[in-house]
């Protein structure tokens, strides 16, 4: 059988660890194992009925053709209105790009700007795809550790210290995957002042979870707080998480005109445009009644609170309270160095996550996948029954370590 020589952009990156963990769960379930699946960052709610109805109407009205590369006018108007009213971000329709999910917008933005020798500052813990996206596009990820002592958030001093003449981007994810930490307006203003001193540095704001919000401070974006960054900031969002529309594949970004034009040029050669039907559904999601989102957030809050309570009750584990999203990122340092009932040493958080899978039937993602150890990520985008069952199984497995 022939062996195809693959490009370096493929061989130099990993399969997404969270995707790999989810596949492992499917494989074990296919073997008949009962698994508490806490790996998947996907809402367990269905897409709201009004959104599905908008998609049906679009099909019935014949909206099944190509759209402009950067999305329909209807959707871009909905995005502009949302950014203006929620985040105090003003933009023109030509400053908006629409893609097949926020992930695609992030990737293509890097493709449009990053070359060999360029650096991208990636605070840890990071969403698993950021470093590999940078590497796939020829850049160098510059990892900046942001531990629990700084609330898992990038500080102005750390940002300043990481910037070099080669820096092209800094990535900010708020609320964060995996920690749920979110930046306050004051924190963003301080970071913005650093960036204004370095106009060659762009800031990529991944705000896909910003409607799943629990913090006692208002949702904010660095571009809304520091509008002077209008030539340096790309704000990326989408409908996947907030509206339970992961399969509809619509994400979007607002940024400088020349950057948006470049993203659109690349997309014109890649996929022409996002699904016309999904765009109609996304426009309805952003402009119509938001009560389903509000209801989902209240359920997510209850799950967060319960999981936080149960995890922190387990000796050797501790977890901060997330500001948003639907993840917890417990510290498992108290388990490192212990021995399993069959004599295996827990040497790191990967060992601990594998132990939980084997001994407790609980699937999680180890902290090393997010660039900060020793932690593990669990998703609360599942039922309370699963969360309580999983936490009970984790507690039992931890008690059996010696």
Instruction: Report pLDDT digits (tens) over 338-362.
Output: 999 999 999 999 999 999 999 999 9
CB-based contacts of 102, cutoff 8 Å, min separation 6: 206, 208, 236, 237, 238, 240, 251, 252, 253
Dihedral over Cα of 268, 270, 275, 279: its sign = negative
Q: What is the CA radius of gyration of the chain?
A: 21
Q: Per-residue DSSP letters for 174-229?
A: SS-TTT-----HHHHHHHHHHHHT-TT-EEEEE-TTTTSB--SS----HHHH-GGG
Greater confidence (50 vs 30) lies with 50
Paired strand residues for 324? 213
Q: What angle do CA 110, 127, 284 make, to 5 degrees?
A: 75
> Which tokens sit at 360?
């407790």
Task: Report the pLDDT value the prediction gives residue 19, as an integer from 0 to 100.
Answer: 72
Pairing state of beta strands 202-206 and 233-238? Answer: parallel
Mean pLDDT of the chain: 96
Which pLDDT band holds residue 79 (cuts at 50, 70, 90)?
very high
Paired strand residues for 96? 254
Average pLDDT over residues 140-168: 98
Task: Report the pLDDT value the prediction gives residue 399, as an integer from 0 to 100.
Answer: 98
3-state secondary structure of 144: strand
Note the pTM of the prediction, 2 decimals.
0.95
Give the closest residue to 320 by CA, choosing from 194, 215, 206.
215
Paired strand residues for 331? 318, 375
Task: Report the pLDDT value the prediction gives residue 185, as an integer from 0 to 100.
Answer: 98
Write down all domains in the chain, each with its CATH number in brackets.
Answer: 8-46+292-399 (3.90.1150.10), 65-287 (3.40.640.10)
Give the closest residue to 200 by CA, choosing from 163, 235, 161.
163
Q: Where are the beta strands (DSSP E) in 72-197?
A: 96-99, 119-124, 140-145, 167-173
């Amino acid at each position: 059988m022939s062996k195809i020589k693959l490009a370096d952009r493929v061989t130099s990156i990993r399969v997404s660890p969270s995707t790999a963990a989810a596949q492992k769960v499917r494989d074990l379930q296919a073997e008949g194992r009962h698994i508490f699946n806490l790996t998947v960052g996907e809402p367990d709610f269905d897409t709201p009925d009004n959104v599905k109805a908008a998609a049906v109407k679009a099909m019935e009205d014949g909206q099944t053709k190509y759209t402009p590369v950067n999305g329909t006018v209807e959707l871009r108007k909905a995005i502009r209105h949302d950014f203006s009213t929620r985040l105090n971000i003003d933009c023109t329709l030509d400053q908006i790009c629409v893609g097949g999910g926020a992930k695609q917008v992030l990737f293509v933005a890097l493709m449009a700007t990053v070359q060999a020798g360029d650096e991208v500052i990636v605070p840890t813990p990071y969403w698993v795809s950021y470093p590999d996206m940078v590497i796939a596009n020829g850049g160098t990820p510059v990892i900046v550790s942001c531990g629990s002592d700084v609330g898992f958030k990038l500080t102005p001093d750390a940002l300043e210290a990481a910037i070099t003449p080669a820096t092209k981007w800094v990535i900010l994810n708020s609320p964060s995957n995996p920690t749920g930490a979110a930046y306050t307006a004051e924190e963003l203003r301080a970071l913005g002042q650093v960036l204004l001193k370095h106009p060659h540095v762009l800031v990529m704001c991944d705000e896909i979870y910003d409607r799943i919000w629990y913090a006692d401070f208002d949702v904010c974006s660095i571009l809304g707080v520091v509008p002077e960054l209008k030539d340096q900031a790309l704000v990326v969002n989408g409908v996947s998480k907030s509206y339970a529309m992961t399969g509809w594949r619509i994400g979007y970004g607002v940024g400088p005109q020349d950057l948006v034009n470049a993203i659109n040029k690349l997309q014109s050669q890649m996929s022409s445009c996002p699904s016309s039907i999904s765009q109609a559904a996304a426009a309805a999601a952003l402009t119509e009644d938001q009560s389903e989102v509000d209801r989902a957030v209240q359920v997510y809050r209850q799950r967060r609170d319960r999981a936080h309570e149960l995890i922190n009750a387990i000796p050797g584990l501790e977890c901060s309270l997330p500001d948003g999203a639907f993840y917890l990122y417990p510290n498992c340092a108290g388990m490192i160095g212990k021995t399993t009932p069959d004599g295996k040493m827990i040497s790191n958080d990967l060992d601990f996550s594998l132990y939980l899978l084997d001994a407790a039937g609980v699937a999680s993602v180890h902290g090393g996948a997010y660039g900060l150890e020793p932690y593990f990520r669990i998703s609360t985008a599942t039922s309370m029954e699963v969360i309580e069952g999983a936490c009970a199984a984790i507690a039992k497995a931890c008690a059996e370590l010696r």
